[in-house]
Amino acid sequence: MIVVRRKPIDEILKMVGRHTRVMLVGCNTCAAVSLAGGQKEVDTLIELLSLAASRKGFSVEFSDAILERQCEPEFIEKLDSQGYDAILSLGCGAGVATLAGDNDKPVYPALDTLFIGSAQGFASWQAECSACGSCVLGETCGICPTTRCAKGILNGPCGGVKDGTCELGDRPCAWVEIYDRLESLGRIDDFGKTMPAKDNSISARCCEWDMTKEGDDS
């Protein structure tokens, strides 16, 4: 799932403060699941922005809408934004982009898109994937070095690891975790096999994926 987080209010207000009627659009898929873009967060943000705007002397009117998934044109079609002069999206980057592409008015992001991650219990997520386009999780027992190693190195660990902790001090060393997991699966012999450099051009070049185009189906 894509994990998102609300931007600071000031930053949001800078974008929408100059408009008079703004529609906040939530997304009931990943953004809701990461507790930042569902109905509740839309309602809260409206209250917060209204309060902030009135303190700054802006007169902005806010209203709400929820889409099942903002990244799908068919869901967006249902959105009636007539009479609004801006849209504030509580979706991930893909949602903002899709809304913006489908609209004649400015669309602003209320959230920052953080990563593709997994839930660690209530209101807590772990980054798991950076959408690099050339997955190595098979070699690393499901722990992504590109995502979870601070340096993203493919043949770790580096010399900065201390007692299993990354030299940044904020996370366990991904490579120590990979080592432990290989060992527990009886695959310790695979450790240290040099992985070839990833083809970074894949993610850079892969700006769309269209199975209907000839030559694109694999």
Which residues bind to another protein, rule: CB under 8 A? 8-10, 28-29, 32-33, 35-41, 43-44, 47-48, 50-52, 55, 66, 119, 121-123
Of the pair 41, 177, the CB lying nearest another protein is at 41
Measured CA to CA, the distance from residue 43 to residue 121 in angstroms comes to: 24
SS3 of 129, please? strand
From residue 89, alpha-carbon distances to 16, 64, 100 in Å are 11, 10, 9
Q: How far is the CB of 60 from another protein (least distance, A)?
A: 13
Dihedral, CA atoms, 109, 114, 116, 120, nearest 10 degrees? -120
Q: How far is the CB of 77 from another protein (least distance, A)?
A: 18
The answer to whether residues 40 and 27 touch, using CB atoms and an 8 Å cutoff, is no
Measured CA to CA, the distance from residue 116 to residue 130 in angstroms comes to: 7
- The radius of gyration of the chain from alpha carbons, rounded to an integer in Å, stands at 21
Of the pair 119, 135, the CB lying nearest another protein is at 119
Of the pair 95, 156, the CB lying nearest another protein is at 95
Q: How far is the CB of 19 from another protein (least distance, A)?
A: 18
Of the pair 66, 143, the CB lying nearest another protein is at 66
Q: How far is the CB of 69 from another protein (least distance, A)?
A: 10
The answer to whether residues 67 and 26 touch, using CB atoms and an 8 Å cutoff, is yes
Of the pair 116, 166, the CB lying nearest another protein is at 116
Q: How far is the CB of 153 from another protein (least distance, A)?
A: 34
